[in-house]
Amino acid sequence: MADTKLQIIPLGGLGEFGMNCLAVRWQNDILVIDAGLMFPESELLGVDIVVPDITYLVENKEHVRGIILTHGHEDHIGGLPWILSELNVPVYGTEFTLAYVEGKLDEHKMLDDTELIEIAPGAKFSLGPFTVEPIRVTHSLVDCVALAIETPVGVIVHTGDFKIDLSPPDGKAFDLHKFAEYGKRGVLALLQDSTNVDRPGYTPSEWSVKPRLDEVFSRTKKKLFFSCFSSSIYRIRIALDLAHFHGRKVAVVGRSMVESSEIAQDLGYLDLPPGLLIHPGQINDFAPENMMILISGTQGEPMSALSRAAVDNHKHAHILPGDTVVLSSRVIPGNEKSIYRVIDHLYRRDAHVIYDDGASGLIHVSGHASQEEQRLMINLLKPKFFIPVHGDYRHLKKHAELAQSIGVVDQALVIEDGDVLELDRESAQKKGKVTAGRICIDSGSTADVVEDIVIRDRRHLSEDGFVLPILTINKLSGKVERQPELVTRGFVAESGLLESARQVVASTLENSSAEEKADYGVIKEKIRVDLKRYIQKNTSRRPLIMPVILEI
C-alpha cells in the first residue's frame, strides 16, 4: 500500500529551531530539502555544533536523488559537510546559496567531490518522479526560494523560511502570483515556516529599519560601528547606502562579514560607489565623524571582531569614548549572556550602544512571516493538508490550530522529527517512525562525533569533579614504594577527609595479595570501588575516580 503513497519524513527542524532537514519519498526515490545545523544548548557541554541523525538516508543512500537548499542560512546548509561525507549526492541551490556552500565545502576539502547544480526561480527541473519549481520568496537573506514539488499524488509546497516583502531592497519581490497559480491548480499539502506564529499582524519590510538608522547616522558625532548578521545582505546594503549619504568611509572588519560582503558584491547584490570602502588599516587616516566600521559579532561570539574590539583587543577596530555601536539584530535565545556581556564592555568604553530593546524605532526586523502573512499564504494555496515546519512543538501546534481555524484546510497535522507521514490524493496519516535525533560534533572535525556517554561524563565531571589516587608499585616485588598520593580537581574536601581517603587506599593495598598488586587492572578496580564507597558515604558526592599506577 505504501508504494502508492507519498512519504514526508522530517529528520530535523520539527521540534526544535535549527537543523532543518526533510525527506520526501515516492517508492524508491528520495529528495532531501535542506541540510542544516543547530548550535548547542548550554547542557551539551563542549559540543560545537549539532547536526541531524541521517541514519535513514544512509540506509537508503542508493535512493537519494539529491539535496535541494531553500536558502543559505546555517540552519539550512550548515550540516552539508557531515551529510555529504555519508552521501555523495548532487546539491541544488540558487546562485547566492551555492556561493555560501562552496566556501563551506572548500573549508572541509569537499568542494571538488561535490556536484553543485544552480537553480533559479521559475525554472523547473526533475529529480526522479518529482518535478520541482523554485518560487521567489523574501527573507532576511537574498536569493531565497520556496519549492513547489509535483509528485504522482499531487503538488506539495515547502515555503522554506519566508516573509512577504513586496518591496525588498534588491527589488526581487515575493512572488505572490506564482503561489496563487498553484492555489488555482490545487495543492495537496503545504509545509509552512512556523517561526513567528506567536506574532500577530505582519512582519515589516526590510526598508522599515532605514528611518531609525538614518536618524542614528545623523546624530552620531564620532565613529559609527555597525554590526548585523553577516548574511543580512539587505541590512548591510542599507547601512552602506546611509554611510555614503552621510559622507562616511566604510571599513569591513571580521572574517564572516568580509566573506559575505565580497560574495554579495561579486553577485551584484551590493553596488558600491568607488572609494566608499577602505582597508581597516586606514581607519585612523580619516576623521572619526567620517568613518563607519561594518563589524561582525552581533551575537557576542567570544572570538568575533566586535567582542575583541569591546575589550580593546582588535588590531584595527578601536572603540573610543563617544563612538556609537549599533547592534542591528535580534538576540538569539541562549546567547543573551554573551551579548549583554559585550554590551557591558562597550558601555565601559563610554560608547553609545543602540540595540533592539523594543523601544524607540526599529533597528531590526524579523525575516519570518507573522500570523497574517501565514494566513494569506494558506488562503492563496488552499492546501488539502497542512504541515507546520521549523520550530518547537508549541509553535507547530499553534500553527496547525491557526491553519485549521481559517477553514480552507481539510486537515492540519503536527509531525515531529522521525515521524513518517503518508499521503495520497484523499488521506494523510502518520505511519510509524524512522531513526532521527541529534549528532553532536566537537571541534568541527567530521571524525569527532560526540557520543551520549561523553556528554554524560562531562556533566558528571562538571558536577562532582574527579579524584586521582597515584600509587607507586615496584614491578618486581609488588611492594608499594611510597604512601599513596591523592590529586583532586573540582572536588573540594577538607584535609582530614583526604587523609582518611589516603588510608582507605593504603588499607586496600595492604589487604591485597602480591598477585593482585602485580595485576594492575585488578588493583585499580579494587581501589576505585573502595574509594568510591568511602567518599560517597562521607560526602554524598560521586567524583570520577581514576587510579594511576606508576611502576618502578
pLDDT digits (tens, 9 = 90+) for 221-278: 999 999 999 999 999 999 999 999 999 999 999 999 999 999 999 999 999 999 999 9
161 appears as a binding residue in the annotation: yes
198 annotated ligand binder? no
Tens of pLDDT, residue by residue over 311-368, are 999 999 999 999 999 999 988 776 788 899 999 999 999 999 998 765 556 889 999 9
* pLDDT, greater one: 174 or 302: 174
- Is the pLDDT at 521 greater than 80? The verdict is no
> Which has more pLDDT, 504 or 318?
318
- Second-level CATH architecture of 206-355: 3-Layer(aba) Sandwich (3.40)
**What is the radius of gyration, based on Cα positions, of the chain?**
29
- Per-residue pLDDT tens over the stretch 31-87: 999 999 987 665 555 556 788 999 999 999 999 999 999 999 999 999 999 899 999
The share of the chain scoring above pLDDT 90, in percent, equals 67
Tell me which of 117-126, 263-272, 278-287, 440-449 is least confident.
440-449
pLDDT band at 20 (very low <50, low <70, confident <90, very high): very high
Phi and psi, residue 26, nearest 5°: -125, 115
Mean pLDDT of all residues in the chain?
Answer: 89
Give yes or no for a contact between 138 and 164, defined as CB atoms under 8 angstroms apart.
yes
Residue 419 — φ and ψ, nearest 5°?
Answer: -70, 145
Bridge partners, 353 (sequence order): 325
Nearest Cα to 144, choosing from 125, 167, 121? 121
Q: Is 205 annotated as a binding residue?
A: no
- The CATH number given to 465-551 is 3.10.20.580
The pLDDT value recorded for residue 540 is 79
Which run of H or of E encompasses 263?
helix 255-266
Instruction: Tell me whether residue 417 is one of the annotated catalytic residues.
Output: no
The region of weakest confidence among 316-325, 378-387, 438-447, 477-486 is 438-447
pTM for the structure as a whole? 0.81
| 74/101 Cα distance (integer angstroms) | 10
- The verdict on whether residue 46 carries a ligand-binding annotation is yes
The number of beta carbons lying within 10 Å of the beta carbon of residue 187 is 22
What's the average model confidence in pLDDT over 125-141? 96
Q: What is the pLDDT of residue 179?
A: 97
Identify the pLDDT of residue 42. 57
Catalytic pick from 53, 143, 175, 193?
Answer: 193
**pLDDT given at position 390:** 94
CA distances from 433 to 184, 416, 420, 436 (A): 33, 10, 5, 8
- Higher pLDDT among residues 478 and 190, named by residue: 190
Q: Note every long-range contact of 314-317, with CB atoms under 8 Å and residues 24 or more positions apart, other chains counting.
A: 314/253, 315/280, 316/251, 316/253, 316/280, 316/281, 316/283, 317/225, 317/251, 317/253, 317/280, 317/283, 317/293
Mean pLDDT along residues 181-199: 96
Confidence band (pLDDT; 50, 70, 90) for 430?
very high
Coil vs helix vs strand at 552:
coil
Q: Consult the annotation and say whether 34 binds a ligand.
A: no
Model confidence band, residue 478 (pLDDT cutoffs 50, 70, 90) = low
Handedness of CA 402, 403, 404, 407 (dihedral sign): positive
**Is the pLDDT assigned to residue 446 strictly greater than 60?**
no
Cell of 23: 525527506
The predicted model gives 137-144 an average pLDDT of: 95
> Which residue of the set 158, 314, 352, 368 is catalytic?
368
314 is in an annotated binding site: no
Higher model confidence: residue 117 or residue 494?
117
**Per-domain residue ranges for the chain?**
2-201+366-450, 206-355, 465-551
- 551 forms bridges with which residues in the sheet? 473
Q: How confident is the model at residue 453 (pLDDT cuts 50, 70, 90)?
A: low
Query: What grid cell was written down for 460?
Result: 558528571
Question: What per-residue confidence (pLDDT) applies to 451?
Answer: 57
pLDDT of residue 1: 46
Query: Could you give the strand order of the β-sheet that contains 64-68, starting from the edge strand earlier in sequence?
Result: 116-118, 91-93, 64-68, 29-33, 21-26, 6-12, 419-423, 428-433
**Residue 394: its pLDDT value, please?**
95
Give the pLDDT of residue 454. Answer: 62
Comparing 484 with 187, the larger pLDDT belongs to 187
The CATH topology of domain 2-201+366-450 is Metallo-beta-lactamase; Chain A (3.60.15)
State yes or no: 139 annotated in a binding site.
yes
Q: Is 312 part of the annotated catalytic residue set?
A: no
